[in-house]
Structure 1
């Protein structure tokens, strides 16, 4: 789907067709729409194809008068009930002489916020500033999702304190995996931003330097938060794994003690069940009494040894 936007009186508005100084949003474009971008607007076909590759990593590339910036933006998805996983997807920002084109495989909140006018100071004719504004929104989105991950992990930990279930452990494992995705993508985005900061590929203006520094600060803060949360979550997983293993050992110990106590009547009954003459007190009540006494003795010994805890 292709949508065309342009800043008019400091407000972004949707326009019917492409024109100079506009922003074109291409979300999961069809072959006809890709042909329009390449044939009618002269966009490099390799740039468009690269932006639509789900496995593409963050990078910056320039070809003649066109520049491609690919960044990873965060996404969230609900796999099962009460189970949320986070991952990243690539988004391409193509800067030409006359316009800016964003290309992505699916609709994302960053593009939606900018298209709906929820982001201030979006200037489609100022291509460098538009790029930096987009990168800043992506960095802010990372921080929002990281805070959500922290809240979810805290809630799951509270549930695990009440009962050890596989569901909560799988949720923690999914969050740990999400943090790995975030960490990898954020580091790639940071390297791309550092290349932008050098000003060799994209021309930087003085009024854009503060915005670029803000983007870098947000990205580095997100990287730091991601590393901290990942360390905490990894330690939590190890701790709960030890707790589960310890609980299993306690259960096995208790069951073993019960088995030992229950084995006493079997041993006594085995002696009196033998077809041997001259067994003392060959009465029905005697082996039962002996079994009860021995069971009590064994139970007291095991309790004193603290074997039932």
Structure 2
């Protein structure tokens, strides 16, 4: 899908044809659509469709007549029938008169511009537009990181009787997501550092201030990612300890039961030996069976009292 937008009188509206100062939004474009835009702007088709490759890394390339900027943005995907976070490339192409954005999905990073929710937004001020996009990307990372931390908190609140292996798997997925975020944010940081030395297009003083804000927000997102990874590691270790402790308690209970049951088993085994009754204690005594049962019960009770004093029970 390819759409053309331009701001006039601080309001954005859609165009039918390509004009000066236009924002070309491409959402999961076909090869034919990519070729059309590449021919109109005299841009390499591979650069136009670079963002469609999920393995593309963040970078900035200065080409003859245009600039390609690739950054990673957060996205939602379905894994194991659950929504999870990942990162996908967003391509930005700057020419003398136009700006092109290419992404595999209609990201909320760009939706705020289409809804006129960004102050001082103009498709004609291309560098400011780029910095505003990058700022929204950093803010979206931070929002998603807070949601991830909230999911971790919900899992942590179940630590105890309700802790299950599924929670450990969920924590592992959250940790994997943070690894993706950390990698993408660091790569985006390299792009931002290169943009500080970008001189090809006109930049206003307030644009440079905005770029500084973007760099600060990106660094803050990186710090949040590191902090949340450490917290998740601690939560995962706590849950593993709780599960191991629960298993130890079960094994201890089984061991105590086995110890108590061993006493009647040994005594009954001895009395079950095929020997003459005259050699078996209490064999000819009245109520001998009940006496033996009573002795076994007393021994078991004494062992239970001893285990409790030793705080084993």
**TM-score for both structures, normalised by structure 2:** 0.93
Q: Do 2:74 and 2:140's aligned partners in 1 also have CA atoms closer than 8 Å?
A: yes
Q: Do 1:269 and 1:287's aligned partners in 2 also have CA atoms closer than 8 Å?
A: no
- What are structure 2's unaligned runs of at least 5 residues? none
Counterpart-to-counterpart distance in 1, 2:137 and 2:25: 16
Counterpart-to-counterpart distance in 1, 2:36 and 2:21: 18
Q: 1:74-133: CA deviations, max 9, x gaps?
A: 11245457x542111110000112200001111211122212222222211111111111
Say whether residues 1:232 and 2:231 are aligned partners.
yes
- 1:304 is matched with 309
Counterpart-to-counterpart distance in 1, 2:112 and 2:180: 23
Counterpart-to-counterpart distance in 1, 2:200 and 2:269: 90
Q: Do 1:25 and 1:101's aligned partners in 2 also have CA atoms closer than 8 Å?
A: yes
The aligned runs of 1:59-70 (5 Å cut-off) are: 59-70=59-70
Report SS of the residue matched to 2:297. helix
Q: Deviation at 1:272?
A: 0.7
Counterpart-to-counterpart distance in 2, 1:255 and 1:20: 79
Q: 1:213-260: CA deviations, max 9, x gaps?
A: 111111011111111111111112112212221221122112101111
Say whether residues 1:31 and 2:31 are aligned partners.
yes
The aligned runs of 1:112-131 (5 Å cut-off) are: 112-131=111-130
Q: Do 1:196 and 1:202's aligned partners in 2 also have CA atoms closer than 8 Å?
A: no
Q: Deviation at 1:167?
A: 2.2
- What are structure 1's unaligned runs of at least 5 residues? none
- 2:259 is matched with 260
Give the stretch that moved more between structures: 100-109 or 153-162.
153-162
- 2:56 is matched with 56
Q: Do 1:160 and 1:168's aligned partners in 2 also have CA atoms closer than 8 Å?
A: no
- 1:216 is matched with 215
Counterpart-to-counterpart distance in 2, 1:78 and 1:152: 16
Q: Do 1:7 and 1:123's aligned partners in 2 also have CA atoms closer than 8 Å?
A: yes
Q: Do 1:254 and 1:307's aligned partners in 2 also have CA atoms closer than 8 Å?
A: no
- 1:287 is matched with 292
Report SS of the residue matched to 1:76. strand
Counterpart-to-counterpart distance in 2, 1:64 and 1:219: 29
- 2:274 is matched with 275
- Count of residue pairs the alignment pairs up: 307
Counterpart-to-counterpart distance in 2, 1:195 and 1:31: 30
- 1:90 is matched with 89
Q: 1:22-42: CA deviations, max 9, x gaps?
A: 001101001221121122332
Counterpart-to-counterpart distance in 2, 1:237 and 1:213: 36
Report SS of the residue matched to 1:243. helix
Counterpart-to-counterpart distance in 2, 1:271 and 1:59: 82
Give the stretch that moved more between structures: 275-284 or 98-107.
275-284
Large movers: runs of 4+ above 4 Å: 200-203
- 2:193 is matched with 194
